[in-house]
Amino acid sequence: MRERDTLTENPFASTHSLDANPFEDPVSRHGTPKSSYPSPAHAARLEELNQRERDLERREQELSQKAEHIRRFGRNNWPPFYPLIFHSIQDEIPEGSRQMITRIYQLWLVLLGTLVINVVANILVLTAGSSHGASDVGSSIGYLIVIPPISFLAWYRPLYNGYMKASGEQSLYYYLYFVFGGFHLAYSLYMIVGIPSTGSAGFIQTIEQYIDGHIVAGVFGTIATVGWVLQGGGNAMYYRQIWYHHKAAGHSVAKAKSELATHGAKAYFTRG
């Protein structure tokens, strides 16, 4: 009987279930159940890869934007709304002069903001019933239109070019800056005083508004006056510093004339 059972037994039969996964970890099958959550190290690695992927996408987008910008405007990047020239303090100004040029550029931006506030203050003077309000508003709007491009091209850009790496400290840049920068300092002083009917909401104009009880106009006049003082005083301080640098570097009128004859004036406003 036992011999017959032995002969009829399936030699290929297995004691293991056919439903069992042959690739399953025996420990997880018979021991402690395996967690379905990734380990902290795996999660950190996954987050690092995702961050790298986001960085690559961002850089690709920036490169695409730069390529489109170069296609439309060339290397020019300033002013941002319609680039006409290339302006990059970080790339073109030596490290030793970079902070000073940055501060002077910021003062130029303060000048723009002050011109805007000056217009608003003079409009308030007009609405307050001032007899000279119309001429103040007209003059202040004229300043807002004319002063920004003239100041940028006449004294800021020559100074920028003077300190630029590629310029080699040419004398003409400095003399352009000293002449037109000096005019700008005189204009700033004129605007600080605030003579009525001149388009300035400076000191005198502001005091009159407070005396007449026009507080809002007085407040805007105060802000404009502070703006004129900040940018004027800051520019005066750097004007003195640049004058000493110019003397120490050995620049002269003769060298400036020679450079003007060699290069022409146009290059000093358009280069970069």
158 and 248, same domain (yes or no) = yes
The tens digit of pLDDT for each residue in 109-123 reads 999 999 999 999 999
Global pTM value: 0.72
pLDDT interval class at 151 (50, 70, 90): very high
The tens digit of pLDDT for each residue in 191-211 reads 999 999 999 999 999 999 999
pLDDT at 89 over 60: yes
55 and 101, same domain (yes or no) = no
The answer to whether residue 203 is domain-embedded is: yes
133 and 235, same domain (yes or no) = yes
219 and 107, same domain (yes or no) = yes
The answer to whether residue 212 is domain-embedded is: yes
pLDDT at 186 over 80: yes
CA distance 97 to 102: 9
248 and 122, same domain (yes or no) = yes
State the DSSP code for 39: P
55 and 166, same domain (yes or no) = no
pLDDT of residue 271: 52
What is the domain count for the chain? 2
Residue whose entry in the numeric block shows the structure tokens 């003062």: 107
The tens digit of pLDDT for each residue in 162-181 reads 888 755 667 888 999 999 99
| Cis before 196? omega within 30 | no
The answer to whether residue 168 is domain-embedded is: yes
The answer to whether residue 246 is domain-embedded is: yes
Task: Please give the C-alpha separations between residue 233 and each of 36, 104, 111, 237, 238, in angstroms, as whole numbers.
Answer: 68, 11, 12, 6, 9
167 and 43, same domain (yes or no) = no
141 and 44, same domain (yes or no) = no
CA distance 255 to 265: 14
Can you give the residue range of the structural domain that contains 61? Answer: 39-74
Q: What's the chain's average pLDDT? A: 83
The answer to whether residue 254 is domain-embedded is: yes
Neighbours of 7 (CB within 10 A): 7
What value does the mean pLDDT take over residues 114-136? 95
The answer to whether residue 100 is domain-embedded is: yes
Burial track 209-225 (b if 16+ CB lie within 10 A, e otherwise): beeeebeebbebbbbbb
Nearest CA-CA partner of 179 in 199, 142, 153: 153
The answer to whether residue 27 is domain-embedded is: no
102 and 199, same domain (yes or no) = yes
109 and 167, same domain (yes or no) = yes
pLDDT at 190 over 90: yes
65 and 165, same domain (yes or no) = no
